[in-house]
Amino acid sequence: MCADHQRPPSTSEPRLRDRVRNRLRTRHYSPRTEKAYVSWIRRFILFHDRRHPDQMGEAAVTAFLTHLATQHGVAASTQNQALAALLFLYAQVLRRDLDTLDPPRHARRPTRVPVVLTRPEVAAVLGRMHGPSRLVATLLYGAGLRLLESLRLRRKDIDFERREVLIRDPEGRHDRRSLLPDSLAEPLHEHIRTAKRLHERDLSESGDAWRCPPPCPARCQRRSFHG
């Protein structure tokens, strides 16, 4: 028999990892969620001896989630994230519903009393911080921003006249506004002036306008579930 007839027919269908990534990006999931979901799907495949998820179903998902709770002792939030990743895989990528999914053994959610700092304690913590770290921490406390929201904040998102901060593309994909405390106005102005001085110095030392590097080819961004 000819060797060509011994090979399975080639297909142009993307690999599973690429299908997962494409679907996540089409639905505008955050990069951190994409990384977490891809990692959980990879662990799910490895747990079942590299079987393709399309060859498995509800029992395999339940076994994996129970294994996480009983053998690895993961937190309830971690188990829930793994479940969300697998539900996304089957519903959005493989187009299969897991309606008869047996409830796995849930990780035990500990009951803890939240620690809330008093105003003097917050002031003491901020008083020991300096520079951009203090500015970010003050935004977390005074404007109610999350860490990544503070780090991604841009000049155009700050309205000093209205004392507002516009948070773009947060968790949930819905932009929102937050109040800007009066005490943060001057530190933010000073930070902007410092950044502008550094930018102007870099331009004068380089002798030419700074240019963005070319985008990384798509092949540089590809990663395997097994690599």
What is the tens place of the pLDDT at every residue in 60-112? 999 999 999 888 888 888 989 999 999 999 999 999 887 776 656 665 666 77
**176-179 β-sheet, strand order:** 158-159, 164-167, 176-179
What does the mean pLDDT of the chain come to? 82
Q: Is domain 119-206 given the CATH code 1.10.443.10 in the classification?
A: yes
Pick the CATH number of 14-93 from 1.20.1050.140, 1.10.150.130, 3.40.190.10, 3.40.50.620: 1.10.150.130
Three-state SS at 143: coil
What is the mean pLDDT of the segment spanning 198-218?
70
Whether the model pTM is above 0.85 = no
φ, ψ at 159 (rounded to 5°): -110, 100
Please report, for the chain, the start and end positions of each structural domain, with discontinuous segments joined by +. 14-93, 119-206
- The C-alpha atoms of residue 108 and residue 127 are separated, in whole angstroms, by 38
How far apart are the C-alpha atoms of 19 and 25, rounded to whole Å? Answer: 10
> Comparing 1 with 75, which gets the higher pLDDT?
75
Report whether pLDDT(220) > 60.
no
- Nearest residue to 22 (alpha-carbon basis) of 168, 171, 173, 218: 218
pLDDT attached to residue 193: 92
